Structure 1
Amino acid sequence: MIRSVPYTGSEKDSLYVALDRHRDVVLWKLDGLGDEALRRPATPSGTNLLGLVKHLATVEYGWFCTPFGRESEPFWFDTETEDMTVGPDESTADILAFYARARVAADRAVHETGLDETGTAWDGRVVSMRWVLIHMIEETARHAGHVDIVRELIDGATGDHREISRE
């Protein structure tokens, strides 16, 4: 079960849980699908479920780790042209593990960096951890919506969240 955003939590906890809820939805929407369905292009541009997960892993590293001098793993693909595509040599397990590692690295950066601490983004902008959390909520929610639509096109499954825990 996913957690709900705390009604009286700290700003950082609220932002983090809001992000984590959408991350969990992305993975939930993959449940029960085989490799062929996860790779099936659903749009003329080729958007597919695994490609969206690969992209989200890339941006987790790119926004949470790199700007704040955190360790990131070397990418085996061109992040400008291949972060939303999945090659035949990239397994479902590899992409899901990549996303899991990216989330762990990003979580560490979030928990160890203050909201007002700043870093330098890939394009030279100075960004705060607060801004990055807000941006990644937007990014992940946007792509969670894409994942939801692609899943519905594959097998008709709909829904936006698993049952919410009221912890």
Structure 2
Amino acid sequence: MTSGRAVLVEDVLIHVDRALRGMCATLTDLGDELANVRPALPGANSAYAILTHCLGVMEFWGGQVLAGREIVRDRAAELVASGPVAELVARVPAGRDRLLADLVAYDGAAPPTGPLEDRDRDDLPEFTRTQGGVLMHIYEELAQHRGHVDLTADLVRHASGVRL
């Protein structure tokens, strides 16, 4: 029989995988040119940058906050990243596998094992007090950014004259 802890992780990972697959499919459909286009809105990011950011989210929150690995992250660089879609999509399974490895000692009720950045500790106290809250934050980020990728795709297709 699977423990309650494992069921929670498995259930969350089902949704993590759906979000990642959806983002990869959208970027693949967009192709290299459109995936790297930022919509003409203040502060908008390209679909490529959003997926790059999602890999950073999983690495930081899973690796550092849940597993206690020291992660050097350049969040600002994630949001301006660009490049070939196939290379980015090829990085996704390794990021997902690292997240799974980072959850080996997961205990949903326990406090996070790794350090948080001051802004996260101060701005996000409701989901940084337990590992379960942190895991749900990872999923929340991926789910919301899945929507961002789809909306971004619609905007850049429209602006480039591609029929929706």
Q: In structure 1, what is the Cα distance between the partners aligned to 2:70 and 2:21?
A: 23
Asked whether the 8 Å contact 1:119–1:127 carries over to 2, the reply is: no
- Give the CA deviation at 1:132: 1.6
Q: In structure 1, what is the Cα distance between the partners aligned to 2:51 and 2:150?
A: 12
Match of 2:50 in 1: 52
- Give the CA deviation at 1:80: 3.9
The SS at the match of 2:20 is helix
Taking the TM superposition and a 5 Å limit, the aligned residue runs for 1:89-108 are 90-108=83-101
The SS at the match of 1:81 is helix
Which amino acid in 1 is paired with 2:114?
T
1:131 to 133, 136, 144: 133
Higher helix share: 2
Asked whether the 8 Å contact 1:19–1:140 carries over to 2, the reply is: yes
- Give the CA deviation at 1:133: 1.4
Where does structure 2 lack aligned partners over 5 or more consecutive residues? 1-5, 122-127
Task: Tell me whether 121-130 or 35-44 shows the greater mean CA deviation.
Answer: 121-130
Asked whether the 8 Å contact 2:27–2:47 carries over to 1, the reply is: yes
Q: What do residues 15-72 of structure 1 show as CA deviations (whole Å, max 9, x unaligned)? A: 2222222122111212332211110111332411100011001111110001222375
Distance 1:98 1:69, change over 3 A: same
Asked whether the 8 Å contact 1:51–1:84 carries over to 2, the reply is: yes
**TM-score normalised by the chain length of structure 1:** 0.71
Taking the TM superposition and a 5 Å limit, the aligned residue runs for 1:134-153 are 134-153=136-155
Q: In structure 2, what is the Cα distance between the partners aligned to 1:56 and 1:112?
A: 22
Using the aligned pairs only, state the percent identity.
21
Which amino acid in 1 is paired with 2:140?
E
Where does structure 1 lack aligned partners over 5 or more consecutive residues? 1-8, 158-167
Q: In structure 2, what is the Cα distance between the partners aligned to 1:85 and 1:94?
A: 16
Match of 2:80 in 1: 85
Is structure 2 residue 38 aligned with structure 1 residue 36?
no
Distance 1:94 1:71, change over 3 A: farther
Higher strand share: 1
- Give the CA deviation at 1:130: 1.0
Query: How many residues are treated as equivalent by the alignment?
Result: 143
1:17 to 14, 22, 36: 14
2:116 to 104, 117, 122: 122
